[in-house]
Amino acid sequence: MSPSGTPTPLRFYIHDDLTDEVGASHGSDSAAGALVRELLALIRRDRTRVTILTLREQIEALVARGGHAPFAVTIGIGRAGERVARQLHARTGWFPTIRRVELTREEDGRGGYAVVGPAGVSMTDQLAGVDSASSLAVVDDTIFSGITLRKLLEALPASTRGRTHAFCLRCVAESLPALEALCPITPGFAAPGRLLDEVSFINASGLVRRGAIRRTGQPPLAFFERPEWMHAWFLDRASDVIDLCRRLNRLLEPDGAPSLPAAAV
């Protein structure tokens, strides 16, 4: 536990979605590309606690868990879930018809989280028509606490959940049983351990891009702008990690506002 009270996880998994993204948008030999390599090299020094996950290894692990006939409709949860669905479909052909449902977890200002959709758009509107699909897939990138996926599944009729299968690239294993009571779930990588103090996940892009932390009624933040978390995660290397993140952010978001990575559009 850090002095701020933020847990230092015994196992900390970081999905590398920065290397390919920055290579595509700025070039692997660019200043931004060099900073990404420096950042990941610094993070990797904590070999006993920190693991960098790659997209390829997670997809291959998920596919190895068994095949599926193509689903009639696939829901990607947010931009990240839609992107994962398209990446998996390119490898497997499971998801020919993909719809994005926008759901975002926001800090509610009272120490908790709210799962919200776009202003003025109800969950019912976003899910219109999926109840008639002969088979339904739901795809997310990460299942951590599971509250976002749970909100979506509970909005489906029970009969629809009976022909629904969920997928994710990575998850905390202890979050799965409660969700599997609603529908089967296939993860790529499932980490054992208790949330936060034993195991935690982040995307590398969240370290440097604003939007990783969303707050009700306030601008989004990148993780480097929450120093108490960074010090809990990276310990004696935190200040150097924050500095690299800040420098990289200035290249990726030069106007200070969140921007969409090219690979996510």
Q: Can you list the domains of the chain with their CATH numbers?
A: 11-55+194-253 (no CATH), 57-191 (3.40.50.2020)
Backbone CA torsion sign across 193, 199, 200, 201:
negative
Q: Report the distance separating Cα 236 and Cα 50, nearest Å.
A: 14
Whether the Cβ atoms of residue 73 and residue 97 lie closer than 8 Å to each other: yes
Question: What pLDDT, on a 0 to 100 scale, did the predictor assign at position 3?
Answer: 54
pTM of the model: 0.91
Consecutive 10-residue averages of pLDDT for the chain (265 residues): 76 97 96 98 97 97 98 96 97 98 90 85 91 97 95 95 98 96 98 94 97 93 98 97 98 78 36
Chain centre to alpha carbon of residue 124: 24
Residue in the block written with tokens 């208790």: 194
